[in-house]
Amino acid sequence: MTGPRTLVDKIWDDHVVAEDPGAPSVLAIDLHLVHEVTSPQAFTGLRRRGLKVRHPERTVATADHSVPTTPRNLPILDELAAAQVAQLETNCREFDIPLHGLGSPSQGIVHVIGPQLGLTQPGMTIVCGDSHTSTHGAFGALAFGIGTSEVEMVLATQCLLQRRPQTYEVRVDGRLAPGVSAKDVILALLSRIGIAGGTGHVFEYRGEAIEALSMEQRMTICNMSIEGGARAGLIAPDDTTFEYLAGRPHAPQGAAWDDAVARWRALPSDPEAAFDRSVTIDAASLEPMVTYGTNPGMGLPISARVPDPAAAGDDARRRGLEQALAYMDLQPGQALLGQKVDVVFIGSCTNGRISDLRLAAAALKGRHVADGVRMMVVPGSDEVKREAEREGLHEIFRAAGADWREAGCSMCIAMNGDQLSPGQYAVSTSNRNFEGRQGKGGRTFLASPLTAAASAVAGAIADPRLLPGIESLAAVGGR
């Protein structure tokens, strides 16, 4: 491709291995992340065909989805989950793949440990059998989720067959108000374009508000690109990116670091590069966001009222909204503020990083979780847990009456025993409010860590902007 190019174009062009007429491009993959849930059938396929893993040194595995968040000296009680984790260990041993397994100090959610270890780097192609692989786009990598058949292909060939995606510019101008964070930006985008708005596209997030974000906040935004239908979402690498990466275990070092930074600085989209679609959001106008329905696009500013299905534009929308409100047991016109909650969950690949825990702890310090509310804090990785404990955050959570857990996906996907009971309401910092996502019959309000912590104290959905000292609180997330 000649002429001005986007960040996506540059990464794409750099990774095309072969192109037959009429066929998709053969795209080289730099980094393949593997976890226990979507990989077993792929390894079975390799064995059946007598194939090896082409590049175990470009592959890395961890156990996160089905692992308990109870103390690590306890066994996995769920026999199926135990068998799945054991199978991952067997597969990694047999195929020589580095494993950050249960009990390892580097274990954690796959999308938390990749960046933390410095494996995620600008300009790379990164895949994983997990739709939230879009997280790694925060570093200016083309990162997307794949199915298990594709996991097998990447294991065998370190390549995938892909058609070039269309590009979608998401411009966020201006500055966010105190108490409004990355989670609110992405929920606002989803409420605007809908959960299929980005289908066939890759988002590129840009603009003043994006540039001002820390790497962890950028990861929160890119993480939920898939909730807008886009397989990937990315942000041009800059000094914030390089500062985060420098010195991490797998980041380039010495002269290789200087070479890498020079290469990375050429990645941002050319000024004249054109996008297939574009949307602009005014950061200053955003409020904290909360979802009210059963997909992540059903979100509202926290001060708004639940919409009326009767006002929906067409029958399909009206039916969808009616079904969502019936599942959530919410009434049209009802305020979200003050809606009672039973459970508050802080964690996940969306908001389980150290800055998320710092924000939640700052909001909880000297306060107590409301009577009748169960609050769970689940660090995104063992390293996040250790850092939080070094900073004493766990003491703040415990003093507030919250449950401090081991690392994993936990109640985001409710595979590991951490789940809602039927009918319970949760404010959750995770990424999906689908029916039953956090446990059969459970009802999810997606929100930021600050909103979740404020709601835990109130026992109901609460506006984090009313927390005492919100200006200084909001700065805690930091870079």
Site string for another protein, 19-48 (x = CB under 8 A): ---xxx-x-x-xx-----xx-xx--xx---
Q: What is the footprint of another protein within residues 138-157 (CB under 8 A)?
A: 145-150, 152-153, 156-157
Binding mask 317-346 for another protein (x = CB under 8 A): x-xx--x-----------------------
By the rule CB under 8 A, 55 interacts with another protein:
yes
Q: Which of residues 398-437 bind another protein (CB under 8 A)?
A: 413-415, 422, 432, 434-437
Q: How far is the CB of 343 from another protein (least distance, A)?
A: 17
* Contacts of another protein in 162-191 (CB under 8 A): 163
Candidate list 1, 77, 246, 256; residue touching another protein; CB under 8 A:
256
Q: According to the binding rule CB under 8 A, does residue 76 interact with another protein?
A: no
Q: Based on CB atoms, which residue is closest to another protein, 130 or 356?
A: 130
Indicate whether 250 belongs to the interface with another protein (CB under 8 A).
Answer: yes
Q: Which of 1, 17, 311, 475 binds another protein (CB under 8 A)?
A: 17
Give the nearest distance from C-beta 143 to another protein in angstroms.
Answer: 13
x/- mask, another protein, residues 100-129, rule CB under 8 A, reads: ------------------xx-x-xx----x
56 binds another protein (CB under 8 A): yes
Nearer of residues 254 and 468 to another protein, judged by Cβ: 254
Residues from 269 through 298 that contact another protein (CB under 8 A): 295
Q: SS in 3 state form for the chain?
A: CCCCCCHHHHHHHHHEEECCCCCCEEEECCEEEEECCCCHHHHHHHHHHCCCCCCHHHEEEECCCCCCCCCCCCCCCCHHHHHHHHHHHHHHHHHCCCEECCCCCCCECHHHHHHHCCCCCCCCEEEECCHHHHHHHHHCCEEEECCHHHHHHHHHHCEEEECCCEEEEEEEECCCCCCCCHHHHHHHHHHHHCCCCCCCEEEEEECHHHHCCCHHHHHHHHHHHHHHCCCEEECCCCHHHHHHHCCCCCCCCCHHHHHHHHHHHCCCCCCCCCCCEEEEEEHHHCCCEEECCCCCCCEEECCCECCCHHHCCCHHHHHHHHHHHHHHCCCCCCECCCCECCEEEECHHHHCCHHHHHHHHHHHCCCCCCCCCEEEECCCEHHHHHHHHHCCHHHHHHHCCCEECCCCCHHHCCCCCCCCCCCCEEEECCCCCCCCCCCCCCEEEECCHHHHHHHHHHCECCCHHHCCCHHHHHCCCCC
Query: Using CB under 8 A, which of the segments 176-184, 252-260, 395-403, 465-473 binds another protein?
Result: 252-260
Cβ distance to another protein smaller for residue 122 or 464: 122
